[in-house]
């Protein structure tokens, strides 16, 4: 498996190559002064060896590199593999080398033996998925060393792929709900057109349908604006990710993201609409994305802790249409930290605060606010399931 990236840099010559070059330069002085043919031969051999070594690694091999990743999106600690194919497109055999394929800050070593012209060699290896994030895989770095180890060069070959490592998910029995506007539940596949209504114009965010862009307004204000339509028959769950560094450590942040990812999966299974909003301002989802979790999980994969204040995020929540349930996933907050969010409880029939804070009691003392406290993400989901069954 891959080890931490560690490649030699700083030119073509290795330490041995510089040593041979330095020794040849030192011996050249007495060889010239004394007129010793033996020393001159040694100097010449050293210089020729270094020159040939540089020529050996300087020529860039004509290799065609392709890479396949399966799958491109995985949950944390779930297996993902990469298959790298290397084809020799030159008229001469390629020299043996080592391929270094980076994924984030981890590099996998791929042995590349001598390839005859037109031959293809494929290697499969595991990708690191132990850490959440968005990782660029590639390009393949081919490290070539001459037989004497005097020169070394790393050359880039092929393109890149993206690996998304999402937070882990735990089984949520049901997301529950604040209010269901249809007695028979959200039958989103057979909704009458009368339940879809225009709500407002808002700024374009990644993933929005370009058919909903309001071009006249966009041209007037100089930025893309889209029409937001809401389906008044579909319950909507708003998942607020409190990614402020002041209320989290690294472990509690990962656990809070696991809770949000688990609720996303349950909402998709139950055909509820979800809006994911981060304290740093990122927003995805809505009534037009019922049953879809890919974009939201990608957001969770890339999300980082921030020092952003809550003001902008709370203002965004205030402008949102009336929702059914607001879930606030946080870490170690105080009542003062959550005061702006708790003040939105009148807009949401059900407001739940999930605090992954090591089972420390969180006394908000605010009527109508449900509080779930747990040591980690799995325990928080368990407490959620227990609370829904009551």
Residue 175 has pLDDT above 90, yes or no: no
Residues 6+ apart with CB under 8 A from 325: 175, 176, 177, 178, 235, 236, 237, 238, 348, 349, 350, 351, 352
Other beta carbons less than 10 A from residue 223's beta carbon: 10
188 with 287: CB under 8 angstroms?
no
Residue 187 has pLDDT above 70, yes or no: no
Residue 121 has pLDDT above 60, yes or no: yes
Distance, CA of 313 to CA of 278 (rounded, Å): 7
**b (16+ CB within 10 A) / e for 66-100:** ebebeeebbbbeeebebebebbbeeeeebbebebb
More confident residue, 328 or 146: 328
Q: Which of 86, 88, 87, 84 is nearest to 103 (CA)?
A: 84
- Under the banding of pLDDT at 50, 70 and 90, the label for residue 136 is very high
Distance, CA of 182 to CA of 177 (rounded, Å): 12
Residue 181 has pLDDT above 50, yes or no: no
321 with 298: CB under 8 angstroms?
no
Residue 217 has pLDDT above 70, yes or no: yes
Residue 137 has pLDDT above 90, yes or no: yes
Hey, what CATH class is 234-389 in? alpha beta
More confident residue, 322 or 309: 309
Regarding the domain with residue range 60-166, which homologous superfamily does it belong to in the CATH classification?
Immunoglobulins (2.60.40.10)
- Under the banding of pLDDT at 50, 70 and 90, the label for residue 273 is confident
Average pLDDT over residues 21-47: 84
Among 180-184, 288-292, 369-373, the range scoring the smallest mean pLDDT is 180-184
Chain centroid to CA 39: how far? 59
- Under the banding of pLDDT at 50, 70 and 90, the label for residue 242 is very high
Average pLDDT for the chain: 81
Q: What is the pLDDT of residue 183?
A: 36
Q: CB-hemisphere CA count at 13 Å for 146? A: 21
Other beta carbons less than 10 A from residue 145's beta carbon: 21
Residues of the chain with CATH 3.40.50.410: 234-389
Q: What is the pLDDT of residue 345?
A: 73
Residue entry with tokens 């010239």: 32
Residue 6 has pLDDT above 50, yes or no: no
Among 91-95, 122-126, 205-209, the range scoring the smallest mean pLDDT is 205-209
- Under the banding of pLDDT at 50, 70 and 90, the label for residue 7 is very low
Q: Is 193 exposed, middle or buried (0-12, 13-18, 19+ CB in 10 A)?
A: exposed
Distance, CA of 98 to CA of 143 (rounded, Å): 5
Helices 15-34 and 37-58: crossing angle in degrees, nearest 10, is 150
């Amino acid at each position: 498996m891959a080890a931490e990236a560690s490649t030699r840099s700083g030119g073509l010559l290795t330490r041995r190559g510089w040593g041979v070059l330095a020794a040849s330069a030192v011996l050249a002085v007495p060889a010239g002064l004394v007129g010793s043919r033996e020393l001159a031969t040694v100097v010449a051999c050293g210089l020729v060896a270094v020159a040939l070594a540089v020529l050996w690694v300087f020529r860039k091999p004509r290799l065609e590199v392709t890479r396949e990743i399966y799958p491109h999106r995985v949950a944390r600690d779930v297996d993902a593999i990469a298959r790298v194919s290397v084809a020799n497109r030159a008229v001469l055999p390629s020299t043996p080398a080592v391929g270094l394929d980076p994924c984030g800050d981890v590099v996998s070593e791929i042995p590349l033996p001598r390839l005859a012209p037109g031959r293809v060699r494929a290697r499969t290896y595991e990708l690191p998925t132990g850490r959440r994030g968005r990782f660029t895989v590639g390009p393949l770095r081919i490290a070539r060393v001459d037989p004497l180890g005097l020169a070394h060069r790393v050359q880039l070959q092929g393109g890149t792929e993206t690996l998304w490592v999402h937070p882990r998910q735990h089984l949520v029995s049901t997301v529950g709900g604040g209010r269901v506007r249809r007695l028979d539940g959200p039958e989103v596949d057979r909704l009458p057109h009368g339940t879809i209504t225009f709500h407002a114009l808002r700024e374009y965010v990644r993933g929005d349908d370009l058919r909903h862009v309001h071009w006249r307004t966009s041209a007037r204000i100089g930025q893309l604006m889209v029409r937001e339509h809401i389906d008044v028959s579909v319950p909507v769950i708003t998942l607020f990710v409190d990614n402020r560094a002041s209320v989290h450590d690294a472990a509690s942040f990962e656990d809070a993201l696991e809770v949000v990812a688990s609720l996303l999966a349950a909402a998709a299974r139950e055909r509820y609409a979800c809006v994911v909003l981060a304290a740093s301002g990122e927003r995805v989802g809505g009534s037009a994305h019922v049953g879809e979790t890919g974009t939201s999980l990608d957001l969770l994969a890339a999300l980082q802790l921030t020092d952003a204040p809550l003001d902008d995020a709370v203002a965004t929540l205030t402008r949102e249409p009336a929702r059914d349930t607001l879930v606030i996933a946080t870490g170690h907050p105080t009542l003062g930290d959550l005061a702006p969010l708790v003040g939105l409880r009148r807009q949401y029939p059900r407001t739940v605060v999930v605090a992954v804070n090591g089972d420390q009691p969180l006394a908000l003392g605010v009527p109508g606010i449900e509080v779930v406290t747990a040591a980690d993400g799995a325990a928080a989901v368990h407490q959620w399931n227990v609370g829904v069954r009551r």
